[in-house]
Amino acid sequence: MKKMAMFLGTAMLMTTILTGCGGTSEETDNGGKENQADTGTGGDTETVTDTNSDDIVIWAFAEPHAEYFRWVTEEYKKEHPDVNFTIEIMTTDALSERLAVINASGGEGAPDLVDQEQGFFSRFMSEEQMCYYPLDEFMERDDVTDKMVKNRLDLYAYDGHYYGLEHALCPVTMAYRKDLFEEYNIEIPTTWEEYKAAAEEFAKHDIYISATKDMSMGGELDEIVLLLRAAGLDYVDENGKLNITDEFKNIVMDYVQMQQNGMMYAWETQDEAWPVVAEDKVATYFTADWAAGWLRDNVPEQSGKWQMAPLPKLTDTASVVSVRGGTGLCMTKYTDKDKEELWDFMKFAQLDKDNCVKKYEMIALYPPVYDAMPECNSPVEYYDNQNLGELYESLADEIPVQYQADWRNAFTESFNSNAYDLVEGNISIDELTDILTEAVNEYNESK
Amino acid sequence: MKRNKRKIMPYLFISPFFILYAIFGLYPAVSGLILSLQTKAGQFTFSNYQTVFMDSRFWKSVTNAAIYMLGSIFIILPVALIAALMLNSKFMGKKSGFVSTAFFIPNVTSVIVVGIVFKLILRTNNGLINTALQDMGIIERAVKFLSDPVWAIPSVLLIGCWRYFGINSLYFLSGLQGIPTELGEAARIDGAGKWKEFWYITLPLLKPIMTYIVFIAITGSFAMFGEVITLVQNGSSVGSRDSMLYPVIYLYNMMFKNNQVNRAATMGYMIAVILLVITTIQRYLFREKD
């Protein structure tokens, strides 16, 4: 009897352990109560919501986006009471890594919709890695390309198909200290040459033209690239091939020299920059719409001193606006839900004028949807009541396309790894470009 | 019937471990081995091993880990041993408990927090070390601890020293407390000084615990991840000239950033083989002699 009891006890213990090791039951129904769980990836905490198998599952990587989804799903449910949603938040890395693992294991546990950060989209740009469903048929039927800035859709295009609906316009313009420019009688630069001349002038007064990441750590390659992108000279060309131009080499060296000559403040950790900005030592800041609020958050005392202007042009034919960042709402190819139903929600969340305006009010993402733009144009107190929306709307059709390539990470890693030697003069910019070309070729060959 | 039950019962009791091990240990290991021997299309191949073997970045990561390992063994462990000897001395008395607890705190501090704090200590502009050295007039130009490849491994070693010397000193302390005091007394009666007592009695008797500590230091060096990721990796950075590239970081990047599952699995096995060779040498060097 005792032995039987022990046997049963052991069996129960095993069952408990093995059950504990299993994933979240799809049949649990606790009204969507949220739990906190450690992702085990990157050490960050993610919010996991117990899922009902009938729910439309959305993965998001940032709380502001999740905040919008929580609101917009409730709005959608008012018209579609039979549809339920589960929103899961995790870090950007965790989201991409989990998707990669799900993809490698045949799609088990895949969400229905994913808020895909554009920088990570290139990881899925191959036949075997593409985990998203092409939206071409829906987009054509609903004339999406007429409603949304096309270049923002191209960000999620691969092999002739569209895979995502962008959240934001992400225009990059130049924030500048109007008072400093006036005080030192310096013209607002409209070209890169004027920008460098302004940097020299400001340096005479111990003011940096801007604060950017230390080039010996790789610098802010993204910032350099946004200027190149505005000139149509991104190192990823329209065919996804490597395109290192003389302009690329020149601007990289300009950044190195401006930092070495004390014209540009070089930081290793971004939090170093804000005290310098607070001391009235920084004159300009290239910023996308979603980062324009960082100045307000970090140097609120400078309210009214900053203004926004078009970007300095790198070449004569360059656009005066660039683009940085972005997030597209994508549908996974593994979804077992009705794709028409999912598309209907995607349209509601990303294309509906009122919802786009609400999103701008909630989380300050300026919409890439034409008819929503005028509704978002209002004066911004921090920028001396300048109407930033009007500026963004006026530049919307000039926003350059941001091409994707799966080797971008290999390129950036190689650039960062060799930047120190470039700054120290151990290698020339031509040698660096050879190294970068080799890194990309090696990546492509290993695919 | 009863006899059969008696035979089965012990196996049932130990089965939970083996079942869990099979699911979470054996299955991934075998699966990884199969992946390492396949192309992306699933065909059998040895080419992944050839590719990794010829990959200079892989060997750079192994070299970094090996240098860090030597630093751990010859810097962190001696410091820990000295701390343990102090804790074990009569001088410390009842204070040793408090000090041991203080030593242990870095080990339970989150690696992310440690990375962030050391970033503040090591950075070029207004970093604690640079500011102190400049104020004392020792250096003129700030040292780029986070980007200068020469300083990359010493910087990580500094973190390792702070983080792991406490736990290692406690391991040593437990070893020291297991040494019979009579041996030391007998040696002193025979005229041995402090140094001879340490060299001929204490150190040889610490060999079993030292074998374990060195083993942990070796595997820890090759598994270096959190400290470095927090310290330098911002998106796609592994330090200047790959100075912060460690085997597990390279494996992780290969798998999750480059989507090279087969190559990442191969790296896992290559790292395992390298560790096996190093630990075999270590066991040989630390073997008990008659």
pLDDT at residue number A24 = 36
Percent of chain A with pLDDT over 90: 65
Strand partners, A285: A175
**Region for A140 from its dihedrals, namely left if φ exceeds 0, alpha if ψ lies in -120 to 50, beta otherwise:** alpha
Q: Are residues A160 and A287 in the same domain?
A: no
For residue A328, the surrounding DSSP H or E stretch is strand A327-331
**CA dihedral angle for residue A300, residue A305, residue A308, residue A313, rounded to 10 degrees:** -120
Give yes or no for a contact between B179 and B208, defined as CB atoms under 8 angstroms apart.
no
For domain B54-285, the question of CATH label 2.160.10.10 is answered with no
pTM: 0.81
The pair of structure tokens assigned to B165 is: 């010397």
- Nearest by Cα to A215 from A275, A174, A267: A267
Q: What is the pLDDT of residue B58?
A: 95
pLDDT for the residue numbered A14: 43
Residue A346 CA: distances (Å) to CA of A17, A64, A229: 40, 17, 29
Chain B residues with CB inside 8 Å of A223's CB?
none
How close B140 comes to chain A (CA, Å)? Answer: 16
Each domain of chain B, given as residue ranges in start order, spans 54-285
CA angle centred on A79, ends A77 and A85, rounded to 5°: 20
Q: Chain A window 207-246: which residues touch B at a Cβ cutoff of 8 Å? A: 214, 216-218
Return the SS3 of B201: helix
For residue A100, the chain B residues in CB contact (below 8 A) are 255-256, 259
Residue A363 has what pLDDT?
86
Considering the domain boundaries, does residue A297 fall inside one?
yes
Compare A408 and A1 and report the one with higher pLDDT: A408
- Tell me: the pLDDT tens digits for B200-216? 889 999 999 999 999 99
Whether residue A144 sits in one domain with residue A190? no
Average pLDDT estimate for A319-326: 93
Say yes or no: A100 contacts chain B, CB-CB below 8 A.
Answer: yes
State whether A211 and A160 are in the same domain.
Answer: no
Q: What pLDDT, on the 0 to 100 scale, is given for residue A93?
A: 84
DSSP states of B5-49? HHHHHHHHHHHHHHHHHIIIIIHHHHHHHHHHTB-TTS-B-SHHH
Paired with A306 in beta bridges are A177
**Domain-embedded: residue A395:** no
Are A367 and A376 within 8 A, CB to CB?
yes
For position A43, what pLDDT does the model report? 35
Q: Which of B118, B256, B262, B263 to mutate to test the interface with A (most CBs of A within 10 A)?
A: B256
- A205 and A273 fall within a common domain: yes
Of residues B24, B146, B257, nearest to A217 (C-beta) = B146
Distance CA A201, CA A205 (A): 7
d(CA A345, CA A428): 52
Listed residue (A148, A24, A266, A94) closest to B147, CA to CA: A266
Residues (pLDDT < 50) of chain B are: none
Domain count, chain A: 2
Is residue B90 helix, strand or coil? coil
- Does residue A30 carry a pLDDT above 50? no
Q: Is residue A425 part of a domain?
A: yes
> Which CATH number is A313's domain given?
3.40.190.10
Sign (positive or negative) of CA dihedral B82, B84, B90, B91: positive
Smallest CA–CA distance from B232 into chain A, residue: A217
pLDDT in the model for residue A26: 33
Best to test chain A binding among B111, B124, B254 (most A CBs inside 10 Å) = B124
Crossing angle for the helix pair B111-122 and B149-177, to the nearest 10 degrees: 130
What SS3 state is found at B118? helix
What residue numbers bound the domain in which A222 lies? Answer: 171-323+401-446
**Facing residues of A45 across strands?**
A38
Residues A345 and A308 in one domain: no
pLDDT of residue A261: 95
- E strand intervals along A75-130: 85-89, 113-117
Q: What are the pLDDT digits (tens) for A186-231?
A: 999 999 999 999 999 999 999 999 999 999 888 888 889 999 999 9
**Which H or E element spans position B97?**
helix B95-108
Alpha carbon A353 to chain centroid, angstroms: 22
**pLDDT at residue A89, as a whole number:** 94
Does residue A13 sit at the B interface (CB-CB below 8 Å)? yes
User: For residue A32, what pLDDT is reported?
Assistant: 34
- For residues A182 and A288, what is the distance between their CA atoms, to the nearest angstrom? 24
* Cβ within 8 Å, pair A43-B253: no
pLDDT above 70: residue A12: no
A203 & A343 share domain: no
Q: Is residue A27 part of a domain?
A: no
Partner-chain residue, chosen from A216, A413, A446, that has the shortest CB–CB distance to B260: A446
Q: What is the mean pLDDT of residues A45-55?
A: 61
Residue A156 contacts residue A116 (beta carbons within 8 Å):
yes
What pLDDT, in 10s, does the model give residues A422-431? 999 999 999 9
Closest C-alpha among B273, B274, B269, B281 to residue B38: B269
Residue B259 is predicted with a pLDDT of 80
List Cα–Cα distances, A31 to A44, A52, A83, A84, in angstroms.
25, 9, 14, 10
**B-contacting residues in A 296-335 (Cβ below 8 Å):** none
Under a CB-based contact definition with an 8 Å cutoff, are residues B245 and B131 in contact? no
pLDDT of residue A40: 32
10 Å CB burial of residue B240 (0-12, 13-18, 19+) is buried
Are the C-beta atoms of A7 and B12 separated by less than 8 Å? yes
pLDDT band at A420 (very low <50, low <70, confident <90, very high): very high
- Residues 374..433 of A with a Cβ closer than 8 Å to B: which? 406, 409-410, 412-413, 416-421
- Check CB contact under 8 Å for A417 and B20: no
Q: Helices B149-177 and B56-71 meet at what angle, rounded to 10?
A: 40
Burial of A81 (0-12, 13-18, 19+ CB in 10 A): exposed
Q: How far apart are CA A355 and CA A344, in angstroms?
A: 14
A438 touches chain B (CB under 8 A): no
Pick from B201, B169, B167, B205: which is nearest to B185 by CA?
A: B201
Confidence of residue A364 (pLDDT cuts 50, 70, 90): confident
Q: Are residues A112 and A250 in the same domain?
A: no
Cα(A383)–Cα(A395) distance, integer angstroms: 18
Note whether B56 and B69 are within 8 A (CB). no
A174-195 mean pLDDT? 97
Q: Closest Cα partner for B149 from A433, A217, A214, A415? A: A217
Identify the DSSP state of A364.
Answer: -
Q: How many CA atoms lie within 13 A of A66 on its CB side?
A: 18
Q: Do the interacting molecules here have an ipTM over 0.85?
A: no
CB-based contacts of A388: which residues, under 8 Å, 6+ apart?
A: A289, A292, A308, A366, A380
Can you give the pLDDT at residue A440?
94
Describe the strand order of the beta sheet including A85-89 as a list of residue ranges.
A34-38, A45-49, A85-89, A56-60, A113-117, A327-331, A164-166
The b-or-e profile of B161-193 (16+ CB within 10 A means b, else e) is: bbbbbbbbbbbbbebbeeeeeeebeebeeeebe
Residue A34 belongs to some domain of the structure: no
Kindly state whether residues A78 and A204 are assigned to the same domain: no
Find out whether A438 and A358 touch, Cβ atoms under 8 Å: no
Interface probe for B, chosen from A126, A413, A427, A446 (most Cβ of B below 10 Å), is A413
Structure tokens at B207: 């060999």
Residues A204 and A102 in one domain: no
Return the residue of B nearest to A266 by Cα. B125
Over range A231-249, report the average pLDDT: 93
Q: Is A7 on the interface with B (CB under 8 A)?
A: yes
The minimum CA-CA distance between B53 and chain A, rounded to whole Å, is 14
Q: Do the domain assignments include residue A271? A: yes
Residues 124-183 of B with CB under 8 A from A: 124-126, 144, 146-149
Listed range (A117-126, A171-180, A274-283, A374-383) with the worst mean pLDDT: A117-126
Bridge partner residues of B27 (DSSP): none
Compare all CA atoms of chain A with the CA of B238 and give the residue at the minimum distance: A417
Residues A264 and A352 in one domain: no
**Does A128 lie at the interface with B, CB-CB under 8 angstroms?**
yes
Q: How far is A264 from chain B (nearest CA, A)?
A: 14
Contact flag B238-A268 (C-beta cutoff 8 Å): no
